[in-house]
Amino acid sequence: MKDFASSEALAWKVSRTLEHGLVLDTIETLKERLGERMKDFVLHSDQGWHYTHPMYRAKLAELGMVQSMSRKGNCIDNAKTETFFGHIKDELDISGCDTFEEIVHKIDEFVYYYNNMRHMWSKHKMTPVQYRSHLVSSAVC
């Protein structure tokens, strides 16, 4: 899950299978990280079965989050997330990993790098974390 404004990866999970618990676990990770700040967040997703499932929708409602989905075939809203996956595919080398746990560790390291060290032209050459801080301090003024 990425913040649309800052491009910061806020919550992520890696799984061996595409099961329903994956999206629920990711929401829990976001809840642990953000707590009450999740209320009134707009969470955008595609129309995959995970995101239309009643359990997922109920979890978002329980947390006070607003769900957003595009029409079928309208992928522009997912472009930022798809771009992030593209960066992972281009920049992360997992060829030396022998176990699933090593892959998860490499992904965690990449997300840390992406959020804290990878400067972005579109964010005034700041990292996503720096840009979030910039946005927050600008909003306070």
Res. 11: pLDDT tops 60: yes
- Res. 74 pLDDT band, cuts 50 70 90: low
Give the pLDDT of residue 140: 64
The reply to whether 7 falls in a domain is no
Query: At residue 27, what is the residue type?
Result: I
Res. 141: pLDDT tops 60: no
The reply to whether 15 falls in a domain is no
The reply to whether 12 falls in a domain is no
Burial of residue 39 (number of CB atoms within 10 Å: 0-12, 13-18, 19+): exposed
Give the pLDDT of residue 102: 97
Q: What is the pTM of this model?
A: 0.85
The reply to whether 80 falls in a domain is yes
- Portion of the chain with pLDDT greater than 70, in percent: 95
Question: Mean pLDDT score of the chain, rounded to an integer?
Answer: 89
Residue 120 · residue 18 · CB < 8 Å: no
Give the pLDDT of residue 106: 97
The reply to whether 1 falls in a domain is no
The reply to whether 4 falls in a domain is no
Give the pLDDT of residue 77: 66
Nearest to 103 by CA among 88, 121, 84: 88
- List, for residues 83-129, the tens digit of each pLDDT value: 888 999 999 999 999 999 999 999 999 999 999 999 999 999 999 99
Which DSSP string do the residues of 25-77 spell out, in sequence order?
HHHHHHHHHHGGGGTT-EEEE-S-HHHHSHHHHHHHHHTTPEEEEPPTT-GGG
The reply to whether 108 falls in a domain is yes
Give the pLDDT of residue 129: 96
Q: What is the CATH number of the domain that holds 41?
A: 3.30.420.10
Domains contained in the chain, number: 1
- Res. 35 pLDDT band, cuts 50 70 90: confident
The reply to whether 11 falls in a domain is no
**Residue 66 lies in domain:** 21-140
